[in-house]
Amino acid sequence: MGEGESMGAKERIGVVGAGLMGSEIGLVFALAGHPVVIADQSESVLKAARARLANVTQKGAQRGFYSETDARQALERIVETTDLLKFNECDFVTEAVFEDLAVKRQVLSALDEVCTAHCVIATNTSTLPISTLAGCVREPRRQQFIGTHYFSPASRMKLVEVIPAFQTSQDCLQLTMRLCESIGKTPIKVKDVAGFAVNRVLHVLLIEAVRLVEEGVATPKDIDTACRLGLGHPIGPFELMDVTTSRLCLQAQEIMHEAYGERFRPRPLLKQRVLAGLVGGKGNKGWREE
């Protein structure tokens, strides 16, 4: 994308990380007409991502979200690779690897080396400070560095928290907001604080839900029912923890507890369950499976 150009429907998009989140971020860009490169370290992970996206788009077409032709063309726009050098032609790259500072630092530093000067690098994180991650790239890149926190599943959830770092330029912020809107998302600008906005609200709810179970007030299943039918939530807190894993929830609460104090202290029961391996997710028992 040369000087003076605006972000358009045909801009080249890169995503690093072919897990559930990264692959679906790539998919929503592809559905909006963008050519997409998705990278991961392993060919087997990339193959699994391709199969998963084929399944997601099939279900999306069946439910009328888009046509079968749109689904097929979107998949054709996605190229998988294990070589980050393929990102040297991208205009906007999203890092969506494991929520670990050391892992992200390695990936972001590598992207800084291979991406062109005009390319925006966005990090998808739910808890790590964007300005800290901006320190993983060189000084000239930091104006083109921003946080974009998608919600799972990214193919369906509309919200994106857009978080500028200390040195993020106004042009980069505006471009990112426009790009999110162009792929059917609703972006909100959020200050770079621990947990951003949504997770600070969410984890207060999750902590109190676990406390209710500890106190014997109600079962996880009944609390989920209460939140769905009494509060209008599409999914209950324990269902959500099983989807995202209790391990990730504990990690987020520990980060926010360090930042904000007692109101985010993780409950003992959550810690015990994580240590016992009852974390939910693929292949593990969770709150709802006992």
Candidates 102, 99, 95; CA nearest to 141 is 95
Question: DSSP alpha helices (H): ranges in 99-245?
Answer: 101-114, 130-134, 170-182, 198-214, 220-231, 237-244
Residues 6 or more apart whose CB falls under 8 angstroms from that of 44 comprise none
Candidates 163, 151, 157, 155; CA nearest to 202 is 151
Residue 161 a catalytic site member = yes
The catalytic residue among 11, 23, 149, 155 is 149
CA-CA-CA-CA torsion sign (237, 238, 240, 246): positive
The catalytic residue among 23, 155, 199, 246 is 199
The catalytic residue among 124, 126, 155, 246 is 126
Residue 239 a catalytic site member = no
Residue located via tokens 């997770």: 199
Say how far residue 287 (Cα) sits from the centre of its chain. 23
The catalytic residue among 24, 80, 95, 161 is 161
Residue 152 a catalytic site member = no
Residue 55 a catalytic site member = no
CA-CA-CA-CA torsion sign (87, 125, 255, 190): positive
Residue type, 275: L
Contact assessment for residue 113 and residue 141, using Cβ atoms and an 8 Å cutoff: no
Distance CA 46, CA 51 (A): 9
Residue type, 273: R
Going from the C-alpha of 181 to that of each of 30, 69, 162, 225, the distances in angstroms are 14, 23, 12, 33
Catalytic (active-site) positions: 126, 149, 161, 199
